[in-house]
C-alpha cells in the first residue's frame, strides 16, 4: 500500500523538489538524534531521489509501507523517508524504530515516585523538631513539586499532586520520630535514588532531544539533592 503525500499530522501536502541528504539530516536532527547505523542507512540513499521526510513525536510510521498511525507501535518508527530508486513506485526508509519496551509508559512510574517522595518529605518535615531539618525537607518537597510541573510542560501532561491524607500523616509522625534523623535521611536518599533510576529508565526510551535534555537536567538536580542529604548526614548529625 502506497503512503499518500502528507505531513506528520496526516494532512496532504503539495509536491516538492528532491531533498538532499544534508537537508534530510538537518530536518531529522531538529527533533531526533540518529545513531551511527541509522546515519549510514540514510547515506546509502545517496543515489536515490528523496522526496519527503516525515517526523512524528506522538505517533509512528509503519515499517513496511510508511503509513502514519497515531499510536506508538513497536517495530514502527519515528522518522519516515520517502524515496525513489530504480522502481516506478516509492520506497520508505523508517528510522528511530520503537523497541517493545517503549510501549510501557515509564513516565507514570516517575510521577508515582514523585508522589511517594513528596509525601515522605512532608512527613519528615513535620516529624523534625529542628528548623534546619524542616527547611531541608520543605525544600526537597518543593523541588519535587516543581519537577511535576516541568514534566507536565515537557510531556504535555496535566498530572496534579494528590492532597496529603492528614490522618495517615499523623500516624506516621510518631514512627519517624522514634526512628530518628539518621533513618529519615537514609530513607530520603533512598527515595531520591529511586526517582533518579526511574528517570534514567525513561531517558533510554526518549528519542526527542528537548525531552531528553529536560530529563537529564532533572537528574542533575537529583544528584545535587542526594549530595545535600548526604552532607547533612555527615555533618549536622555529628554536632
Mean pLDDT value of segment 65-74: 84
Torsion of CA 43, 29, 35, 106, to 10 degrees: -150
Sorted by sequence, the CB contacts under 8 Å of residue 228 that are 6+ apart come out as 136
Give 237's strand partners. none
Alpha-carbon torsion angle 134, 137, 139, 143, nearest 10:
-160
Residues 122/211/102/6 CA torsion (nearest 10 deg):
140
In the beta sheet, which residues pair with residue 94? 80
pLDDT of residue 104: 46
Q: Where are the domains of the chain?
A: 21-100, 107-238
- Give me the half-sphere count of Cα atoms (radius 13 Å) on the Cβ side of residue 130: 9
| Cell digits of residue 24 | 534530510
Which of 218, 197, 205 has its CA nearest to residue 150? 218
Q: What is the pTM of this model?
A: 0.57
Considering only residues 99 and 63, tell me which one the structure prediction assigns the higher pLDDT. 63
Main-chain dihedrals φ then ψ at residue 6, nearest 5 degrees: -160, 165
For the 107-238 domain, the top CATH level (class) is: mainly alpha
Question: What separation, in Å, do the N-terminal and C-terminal C-alpha atoms of the chain show?
Answer: 74
pLDDT bracket for residue 174 (50, 70, 90): confident
Q: Rounded to the nearest 5°, which phi and psi values hold at 77?
A: -130, 170
pLDDT digits (tens, 9 = 90+) for 124-141: 999 998 999 999 999 999
pLDDT digit string, tens, across residues 19-57: 999 999 989 988 888 888 999 999 999 999 999 999 987
Amino acid at each position: 500500500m502506497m503512503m499518500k503525500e502528507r505531513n506528520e499530522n496526516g494532512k496532504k501536502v503539495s509536491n516538492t523538489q528532491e531533498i538532499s541528504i544534508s537537508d534530510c539530516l538537518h530536518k531529522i536532527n531538529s527533533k531526533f538524534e540518529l545513531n551511527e547505523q541509522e546515519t549510514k542507512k540514510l547515506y546509502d540513499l545517496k543515489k536515490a531521489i528523496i522526496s519527503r521526510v516525515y517526523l512524528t513525536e506522538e505517533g509512528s510510521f509503519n515499517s513496511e509501507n510508511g503509513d502514519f498511525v497515531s499510536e506508538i507501535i513497536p517495530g514502527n518508527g519515528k522518522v519516515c523517508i520517502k524515496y525513489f530508486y530504480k522502481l516506478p513506485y516509492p520506497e520508505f526508509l523508517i528510522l528511530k524504530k520503537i523497541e517493545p519496551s517503549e510501549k510501557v509508559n515509564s513516565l507514570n512510574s516517575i510521577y508515582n515516585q514523585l508522589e511517594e517522595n513528596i509525601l515522605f518529605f512532608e512527613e519528615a518535615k513535620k516529624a523534625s523538631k529542628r528548623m534546619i531539618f524542616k527547611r531541608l525537607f520543605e525544600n526537597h518537597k518543593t523541588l519535587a513539586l516543581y519537577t511535576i510541573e516541568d514534566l507536565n510542560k515537557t510531556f504535555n501532561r496535566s498530572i496534579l499532586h494528590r492532597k496529603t491524607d492528614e490522618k495517615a500523616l499523623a500516624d506516621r509522625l510518631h514512627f519517624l520520630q522514634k526512628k530518628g534523623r539518621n533513618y529519615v535521611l537514609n530513607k530520603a536518599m533512598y527515595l531520591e535514588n529511586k526517582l533518579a533510576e526511574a528517570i534514567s529508565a525513561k531517558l533510554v526510551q526518549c528519542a526527542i532531544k528537548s525531552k531528553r535534555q529536560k530529563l537529564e537536567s532533572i537528574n542533575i538536580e537529583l544528584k545535587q539533592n542526594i549530595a545535600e542529604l548526604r552532607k547533612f548526614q555527615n555533618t549536622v548529625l555529628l554536632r
